Structure 1
Amino acid sequence: MGIVGCGGVALGYAAFLLKGGHQAIVWSPSGASARSLVDQDLTVSGTLEGSFRIRVAQSPEELVSDAEVVIIAVPGYGHRSVMDAVIPFARGGQSFIVSAQLSLSGVYLQRHLTARGIQADVLAWATTVLMGRRTGSSSVAIGGIRSMLEIAALPAEAGERCLNLCRVLFGDRFRLVPDIFAIALGNLNPPIHLASALCNFTRIEKGEYWANYDGITPSVARLIEALDQERLELAKAYRVKVRTVQEHYCLSFGFDEGCSIAEMAAMVHTKRQGPPGPTSLSTRFVTEDVPFGIVPLVELAHLMHETTGKGWRM
Structure 2
Amino acid sequence: MGKIAVLGAGNVGLAIAGHMSLSGHDVRLYDRFGDPLVDVEKSGGIELTGEVEGKGTPRLLTSDIAEAVDGADTIVIVAPAFAHEYIGQQLAAVAHPEQMILFQPGALGSGVRLLHQFAEQSRSPSYVAETPTSLYTCRKSGETTVYIGAIKHSVEIASVPASFTDRCVEHLNTYFGGRYVPGPDALTVGLSNHNPIYHLPPSVLNIKTVEDQAQHPLHSLVTPRIAAVIDKMEAERMAISHALGVESKTFWQTLETAYGVTEGTTQERIIQAYGRQAFPEPDSLTHRYFTEDVPFGMVPWLALADEVGVDAPINRSLTVLASALCDRDFMAEGRNIDALGLRGSGREGIRRAFIEGAVALA
Same fold (TM over 0.5): yes
Output one character per residue of 1:234-270: Cα deviation in whole Å (capped at 9) or x when no partner. 1111111111111212222222x22222113333565
Partners of 2:100 and 2:177 lie apart in 1 by: 17
CA distance in 1, matches of 2:184, 2:252: 22
Counterpart of 2:77, as a letter, is I
Which runs of 5 or more structure 1 residues have no equivalent in the other structure? Answer: none
What is the aligned partner in structure 2 of residue 162 from structure 1?
A: 168
Deviation at 1:52, TM superposition (A): 1.3
Aligned to 2:347: none
Where do residues 69-88 of structure 1 align in structure 2 (5 Å cutoff)? 69-88=74-93
Which of 142, 145, 149 is the equivalent residue of 1:143?
Answer: 149
Does residue 30 of structure 2 align to residue 24 of structure 1?
no
- Aligned residue type for 1:2: A
Output the TM-score relative to the length of structure 2: 0.80
After the TM superposition, which residues 140-219 of structure 1 pair with which residues of structure 2 at under 5 Å, given as runs?
140-219=146-225
Pairs aligned (count): 308
Report the AA paired with residue 10 of structure 2: G
Mapped partners of 1:212, 1:8: distance in 2? 18
Quote how far apart the aligned CAs of 1:312 are. 4.6
Supply the RMSD in Å over aligned alpha carbons. Answer: 1.8
Q: 2:106 aligns with which of 101, 106, 111?
A: 101
2:60 matches 1:51: no
- The 5-angstrom pairing of residues 1-314 of structure 1 reads 1-40=4-43, 41-54=45-58, 55-114=60-119, 115-255=121-261, 257-268=262-273, 271-272=276-277, 274-305=278-309, 311-313=311-313, 314=315
Percent identity between the two aligned chains: 25
Matched residue SS, 2:247: coil
Distance 2:220 2:8 in 1: 29
Hey, what's the Cα distance between the residues in 2 that align with 1:96 and 1:270?
A: 32
Whether the 8 Å contact between 2:34 and 2:62 is mirrored in structure 1 is no
SS in 2 for 1:14: helix
Shift of 1:188: 0.5
**Aligned partners of 1:303, 1:32: CA distance in 2, in Å?**
41
**Cα contact 1:42–1:138 (8 A) shared by 2:** yes
For structure 2, list consecutive stretches of 5 or more residues without a partner in the other structure. 316-362
Task: Give the TM-score of the pair, scaled to structure 1.
Answer: 0.92
